């Protein structure tokens, strides 16, 4: 039997995935599971989704042939410009999809959790767009670290609630959001920001983000007279931009998929977020997947210079892609990512998010053939990372 890289009817990707949730949460997740496929398949849903992606987000994003970069690396490099999306990254593709679903389920109160604040901003944005109440849970420490994004969320009308327990970071914010959802099962929709969480979230988010690979196919046909590149490269935090960039190529094994994780200060340094390489199977956010943990199963604090890759787990689809070797996983250090980021600015006039710079750094680690078509998903723009660039390079 051919291996499937998509979710099965029980919510699993191979041995990963599922919905490991407290019983109190079961009705909410079950409602979503029963309805997400039928609602999102409705013509009126598809029309509204695609019209907002076009008119509000600015899609399709260009598939840009990076001429100078290609000359430097002696191969054909295309950049999928998710950095040009409204709010500066791919995350809005997903929040648009989920808020339309929330509306159709009759929910008028939206909750979310956020680490670096990027998903909080993308959620607050679509709540403002739809006039819905928005509560974003965020660790107290993250609130201090990410002041500009907290200000953005407030400007957009969201309430930012601090999570004050535990390490006061993302996983604590997630716990608070889950507690809220249990207490408000009827009117509340929980917008999750990556291909993580209990089934059906990973599949639902992957489908919303799959617009990325759908566009890559159409655009490559124009540029190269083929729908299929030789390589697709994307960075992985939870895995949503990679899932979207890989989605329509999953079953075409002639397309090589490269998932790029953050090695932080080095895979063996104890300060990294190279989840697939260092992780063991466990349950996080209601999903069975690879995650970084201690001997006795306590989740390890991840580290990366890029806030968006600083996540202790990886979505179940990616665990499966890793296990089956369908995707190659490469870990890139802080230093290599920062160098690749500033190199893109100087070579192409594009300042990438540091997350995306991890994907670019693969160009230095792998040799591609001159005729290879290499698509790199540029998940976001670097404006939010300016201070990190300034401090790192003494600009």
Ligand X SMILES: *Cc1c(COP(=O)(O)O)cnc(C)c1O
Is 379 one of the binding residues for ligand X (CB under 6 A)?
Answer: yes
Is 264 one of the binding residues for ligand X (CB under 6 A)?
Answer: no
Cβ proximity to ligand X: between 172 and 355 the closer is 355
Cβ proximity to ligand X: between 17 and 380 the closer is 380
Using the contact rule CB under 6 A, the part of the chain among 163-171, 239-247, 263-271, 283-291 near ligand X is: 239-247
CA dist 317 to 6, 250, 360, Å? 7, 11, 22
- Of 156, 236, 278, 357, the one binding ligand X (CB under 6 A) is 236
Closest residue to ligand X, Cβ-based?
Answer: 380
Q: Are 311 and 236 in contact (CB under 8 A)?
A: no
How many whole angstroms separate alpha carbon 345 and alpha carbon 264? 21
Per-position x/- string for 95-124, each x denoting binding to ligand X as judged by CB under 6 A, each - no binding: -----------------------x------
Assess whether 113 carries a catalytic annotation. yes
Cβ proximity to ligand X: between 113 and 355 the closer is 355
Total residues at the site for ligand X (CB under 6 A)? 18
CA 128 to chain centre: 22
Is 318 one of the binding residues for ligand X (CB under 6 A)?
Answer: no
Helix (H, G, I), strand (E, B) or coil at 112: strand
CB of 352 to ligand X, least distance (A): 8
CB of 333 to ligand X, least distance (A): 17
Q: Are 302 and 272 in contact (CB under 8 A)?
A: yes
Catalytic residue among 82, 113, 215, 261: 113
Q: Which has the closest alpha carbon to 7: 197, 228, 229?
A: 197
Cβ proximity to ligand X: between 75 and 321 the closer is 321
Is 356 one of the binding residues for ligand X (CB under 6 A)?
Answer: yes
Cβ proximity to ligand X: between 135 and 259 the closer is 259
Is 91 one of the binding residues for ligand X (CB under 6 A)?
Answer: yes
Strand order in the sheet with 16-17: 12-13, 16-17, 287-291, 280-284
Is 285 one of the binding residues for ligand X (CB under 6 A)?
Answer: no
Is 238 one of the binding residues for ligand X (CB under 6 A)?
Answer: yes
Is 21 one of the binding residues for ligand X (CB under 6 A)?
Answer: no
- The label of the residue with tokens 């609130």 reads 143
Is 229 one of the binding residues for ligand X (CB under 6 A)?
Answer: no
Cβ proximity to ligand X: between 102 and 351 the closer is 351
How many whole angstroms separate alpha carbon 387 and alpha carbon 392? 8
The helix (H) or strand (E) run that includes residue 154 is: helix 147-155
Half-sphere CA count of 75, side-chain side, radius 13 A:
19
Exposed/middle/buried for residue 357 (C-beta within 10 Å: 0-12, 13-18, 19+): buried
Encode 345-359 in three state secondary structure: HHHHCCCECHHHHHH
Which positions touch ligand X (CB under 6 A)? 89, 91, 118, 194, 235-241, 308-309, 353, 355-356, 379-380
**Which residues carry out catalysis?**
91, 113, 379
């Amino acid at each position: 039997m051919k291996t499937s890289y998509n979710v099965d009817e029980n919510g699993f990707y191979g041995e990963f995935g599922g919905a490991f949730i407290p019983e109190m949460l079961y009705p909410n997740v079950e409602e979503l599971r029963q309805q997400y496929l039928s609602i999102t398949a409705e013509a009126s849903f598809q029309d509204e989704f695609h019209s907002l992606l076009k008119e509000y987000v600015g899609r399709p994003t260009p598939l840009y042939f990076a001429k100078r970069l290609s000359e430097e690396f002696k191969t054909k490099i295309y950049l999928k410009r998710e950095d040009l999306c409204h709010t500066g990254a791919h995350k809005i593709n997903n929040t648009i999809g989920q808020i339309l679903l929330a509306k159709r389920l009759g929910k008028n109160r939206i909750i979310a959790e956020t680490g670096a604040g990027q998903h909080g901003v993308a959620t607050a944005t679509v709540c403002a767009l739809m006039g819905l109440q928005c509560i974003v849970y965020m660790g107290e420490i993250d609130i201090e670290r990410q002041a500009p994004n907290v200000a953005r969320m407030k400007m957009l009308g969201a309430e930012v609630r601090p999570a004050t327990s535990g390490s006061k970071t993302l996983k604590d914010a997630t716990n608070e959001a889950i507690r809220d959802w249990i207490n408000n099962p009827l009117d509340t929709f929980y917008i999750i920001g990556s291909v993580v969480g209990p089934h059906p979230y990973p599949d639902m988010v992957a489908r919303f983000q799959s617009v990325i690979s759908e566009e890559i196919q159409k655009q490559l046909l124009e540029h190269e007279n083929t729908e299929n590149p030789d390589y697709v490269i994307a960075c992985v935090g939870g895995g949503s931009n990679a899932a979207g960039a890989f989605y329509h190529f999953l079953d075409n094994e002639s397309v090589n998929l490269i998932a790029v994780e953050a090695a932080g200060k080095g895979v063996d340094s104890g300060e990294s977020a190279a989840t697939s390489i260092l992780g063991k199977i466990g349950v996080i956010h209601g999903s069975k997947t690879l995650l970084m943990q201690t001997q006795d199963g306590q989740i390890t604090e991840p580290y990366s210079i890029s806030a968006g890759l600083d996540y202790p787990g990886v979505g179940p689809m990616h665990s499966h892609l890793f296990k089956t070797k369908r995707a190659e996983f490469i870990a890139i250090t802080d230093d290599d990512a920062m160098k690749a980021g500033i190199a893109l600015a100087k070579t192409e006039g594009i300042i990438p998010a540091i997350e995306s710079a991890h994907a670019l750094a693969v160009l230095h680690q792998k040799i591609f053939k001159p005729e290879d078509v290499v698509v790199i998903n540029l998940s976001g723009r670097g404006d939010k990372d300016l201070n990190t660039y300034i401090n790192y390079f003494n600009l």
